[in-house]
Chains A and B, each alone.
Chain A
């Protein structure tokens, strides 16, 4: 069976808040597919990313999220990760004192232990080889592994570190939350090359972005527009170009008119 992320009628708010941010979102992402999710500020893009990963600052009010039929909403973030979900953070957190290499080794070992409680984890030489291979592939300086996680990283370095983590952990489905924000064009190309190298038959991706720019480098199979907490338009790559050309205003107008008509 092809790994599939299914989001059904998802309603969510900030924890403790009355106001609903996601209001009945439906989306299915299969392994091997690249979906772009676009939308204006405040449409709920980042909320979706955080709800999928299980950030406790958000509360799911209704709906379900399944990964290969398993309900992710019952799982803690670490269990979701081990089930095959990955989130590339928009704002990766700096953790002083924990090196990127050590962190990723723990992440891999946590997976091995979850599968086999007696596992001793990946031998260090094997892990070092894996890191070198992935860093070379992503054109990342090998000294990166010895630096404290995101501590003092530039915006571009943080995003590259996110892509490196994705490459090492090999998720089934990756959600990329505005990975293009804060990147200059060179960094954007490197990050996009990395994503392109990783997607394919072994991984599906949900690329969340405000701008079409990223989609010059990562070619989506499907483009969706999020507005008012639900997906209001879906199409092929041409939809992204249309948004680039016309902006989000026409979406706003069309759906406000629809909402009024419904009311």
Chain B
């Protein structure tokens, strides 16, 4: 089938209006502060041009998005959790979930929280409900500290028009042993503007996994999302995000962790789906002794395009950030990782590390990695690296010499490449599932 694409020089914008923003606030009976916040974000959105050719966007051409399809705000049409694939709903570990929140087409269809967590004062609910019922907890954090409307055109659009979300909160000193599990699923094409806000207060601990997926569709979709992870002093958050949108989805997302004094954030980000993903993934180590481990895996095939833009900001001394991304590309896919470690002046004794390892599986695929450092202190240990490899004959021959067939040997080597990263996911069942998904991409 011949596809003729008409491209104007500049990217088109979706055709949302302020009326859409108001309609959303009305529909959810939002408190005044939230209405005001949306309106302010809308003003920023209007003042910001569609990103194009700025440094962070220079290599990412999204002009093939058809906004007439992708901008349609999805209305839930009665789809239930039954529409969600079983693999996404399976408990992360054992038979019980700490909490399960399933959102289909922007509507919460299942919401469960273990009694044990309830008793501790853990809140795990959709963001609209939380904005009404837990105002004092949501208002100080929602797009004020981590992701801000001024971060970019899509951040502003998201802040004005986010239409579903999750709020997870663990009070000071509480340890949520059982993991919280969120599944965001779309059965219909169109726009999804999902928000995740996690607040682990001082000395609190939590583990959470959020999965994004959608049903196949010929029409285009847009996910304009934001994730905010706020870890209080001496808190500990393990967070896993898995994205597997259908092949007609364009993701534009801002994700940011804020890590307090002596706190730890262990964050794994998996990107498997979408047609195009442009994700800003940032951590701010804001308290002395804060520590963040940011891991990412991605596997692009066919005509997928992933642009992962990471930043590790050291805003306090004695902070440690460790970033490892591993990705593969085959067919005509293209991936890009741009990394940056930044430190404010006088932030001594910081330790920042970033590395992206790329496995190129076809001659037509292309992978780029652009590490960077902006350090304004002298007593620091910061390093970065990017590596590129292909499937080499020597290890294949070695495995074959033990009776393993060539396709199986290739599969094992690619899976081995990802194993180190998947081991950072704290759920055996999820690791196995992801390995199967990687396998499907290798074979497919």
The smallest C-beta distance from B169 to any residue of chain A, in angstroms, reads 37
The answer, yes or no, to whether A24 is at the interface (CB within 8 Å) is: no
A81, B400: Cβ atoms closer than 8 Å: yes
The answer, yes or no, to whether B48 is at the interface (CB within 8 Å) is: no
Chain A residues positioned under 8 Å from B399 (CB to CB): 95, 103, 106
The smallest C-beta distance from B404 to any residue of chain A, in angstroms, reads 5
The answer, yes or no, to whether B134 is at the interface (CB within 8 Å) is: no
What is the CA–CA distance of A148 and B413 in the complex, to the nearest angstrom?
A: 11
Given contacts A56-B393, A93-B394, A106-B408, contact A81 B402 (CB under 8 A): yes
A48-81 contacts to B (CB < 8 Å): 53-57, 76-78, 80-81
Q: Which of A87, A148, A165 contacts B416 (CB 8 A)?
A: A148
Residue of A nearest to B326 (CB): A97
Given contacts A56-B397, A77-B397, A103-B412, contact A97 B402 (CB under 8 A): no
The answer, yes or no, to whether A12 is at the interface (CB within 8 Å) is: no
A98, B413: Cβ atoms closer than 8 Å: yes
A82-115 contacts to B (CB < 8 Å): 82, 86-87, 89, 92-93, 95-98, 103-104, 106-107, 110-111, 114
Which one of A56, A78, A93 has the greatest number of beta carbons of chain B within 10 Å? A78
The answer, yes or no, to whether A169 is at the interface (CB within 8 Å) is: yes
Chain A residues positioned under 8 Å from B406 (CB to CB): 76, 78
Chain B residues positioned under 8 Å from A92 (CB to CB): 398
What is the CA–CA distance of A157 and B111 in the complex, to the nearest angstrom?
A: 52
What is the CA–CA distance of A115 and B404 in the complex, to the nearest angstrom?
A: 13
B368-412 contacts to A (CB < 8 Å): 393-395, 397-406, 408-409, 412
Residue of A nearest to B412 (CB): A98
The answer, yes or no, to whether B96 is at the interface (CB within 8 Å) is: no
Q: Which of A57, A82, A96 contacts B403 (CB 8 A)?
A: A82
What is the CA–CA distance of A82 and B408 in the complex, to the nearest angstrom?
A: 15
Q: Which of A82, A95, A96 contacts B398 (CB 8 A)?
A: A95
The smallest C-beta distance from B424 to any residue of chain A, in angstroms, reads 13
Given contacts A56-B393, A93-B395, contact A81 B401 (CB under 8 A): yes
What is the CA–CA distance of A86 and B401 in the complex, to the nearest angstrom?
A: 7
Given contacts A56-B393, A110-B408, contact A98 B402 (CB under 8 A): no
B403, A107: Cβ atoms closer than 8 Å: yes
What is the CA–CA distance of A78 and B403 in the complex, to the nearest angstrom?
A: 4
A77, B417: Cβ atoms closer than 8 Å: no
A78, B419: Cβ atoms closer than 8 Å: no
What is the CA–CA distance of A244 and B323 in the complex, to the nearest angstrom?
A: 55
Q: Which of B400, B416, B420 contacts A77 (CB 8 A)?
A: B400
A96, B420: Cβ atoms closer than 8 Å: yes
What is the CA–CA distance of A95 and B415 in the complex, to the nearest angstrom?
A: 11
What is the CA–CA distance of A89 and B400 in the complex, to the nearest angstrom?
A: 13
Chain B residues positioned under 8 Å from A97 (CB to CB): 413, 415-420
Residue of A nearest to B405 (CB): A78
Dominant secondary structure at the B interface: helix
Instruction: Give the number of residues in A that approach B within 8 Å (Cβ atoms).
Output: 30
A107, B404: Cβ atoms closer than 8 Å: yes
The smallest C-beta distance from B330 to any residue of chain A, in angstroms, reads 18
What is the CA–CA distance of A219 and B63 in the complex, to the nearest angstrom?
A: 73
A98, B397: Cβ atoms closer than 8 Å: no
What is the CA–CA distance of A51 and B416 in the complex, to the nearest angstrom?
A: 27
Given contacts A56-B393, A110-B408, contact A103 B419 (CB under 8 A): no
Residue of A nearest to B421 (CB): A97
The smallest C-beta distance from B123 to any residue of chain A, in angstroms, reads 39
B415, A98: Cβ atoms closer than 8 Å: yes
The smallest C-beta distance from A199 to any residue of chain B, in angstroms, reads 19
B35-91 contacts to A (CB < 8 Å): none
The smallest C-beta distance from B275 to any residue of chain A, in angstroms, reads 29
A110, B405: Cβ atoms closer than 8 Å: yes
Chain A residues positioned under 8 Å from B417 (CB to CB): 96-97
The smallest C-beta distance from A112 to any residue of chain B, in angstroms, reads 10
Which one of B400, B413, B417, B418 has the greatest number of beta carbons of chain A within 10 Å? B400
Q: Which of A57, A82, A95, A114 contacts B395 (CB 8 A)?
A: A95
What is the CA–CA distance of A54 and B398 in the complex, to the nearest angstrom?
A: 10
Chain A residues positioned under 8 Å from B404 (CB to CB): 78, 103, 106-107, 110
What is the CA–CA distance of A82 and B416 in the complex, to the nearest angstrom?
A: 23
What is the CA–CA distance of A53 and B400 in the complex, to the nearest angstrom?
A: 9
B166-194 contacts to A (CB < 8 Å): none
B402, A165: Cβ atoms closer than 8 Å: yes
Which one of A54, A82, A110 has the greatest number of beta carbons of chain B within 10 Å? A110
Chain A residues positioned under 8 Å from B401 (CB to CB): 53-54, 77-78, 80-81, 86-87, 89
A20-70 contacts to B (CB < 8 Å): 53-57
Chain A residues positioned under 8 Å from B394 (CB to CB): 93
What is the CA–CA distance of A111 and B408 in the complex, to the nearest angstrom?
A: 13
Known contacts A92-B398, A107-B402; 9 additional CB pairs below 8 A are A56-B393, A56-B397, A76-B400, A78-B402, A93-B398, A97-B417, A97-B419, A98-B416, A106-B408
Task: Please give me the 5 A-B residue pairs with the lowest Cβ-Cβ distance, nearest first.
Answer: A97-B416, A97-B419, A81-B403, A107-B402, A98-B416
Tell me the B residues contacting A by CB distance below 8 Å.
Answer: 393-395, 397-406, 408-409, 412-413, 415-420
Q: List 16 A-B contacts (CB under 8 A).
A: A53-B397, A54-B400, A55-B397, A56-B397, A57-B393, A80-B401, A92-B398, A93-B394, A96-B419, A98-B412, A103-B402, A103-B412, A107-B402, A110-B403, A111-B403, A169-B403
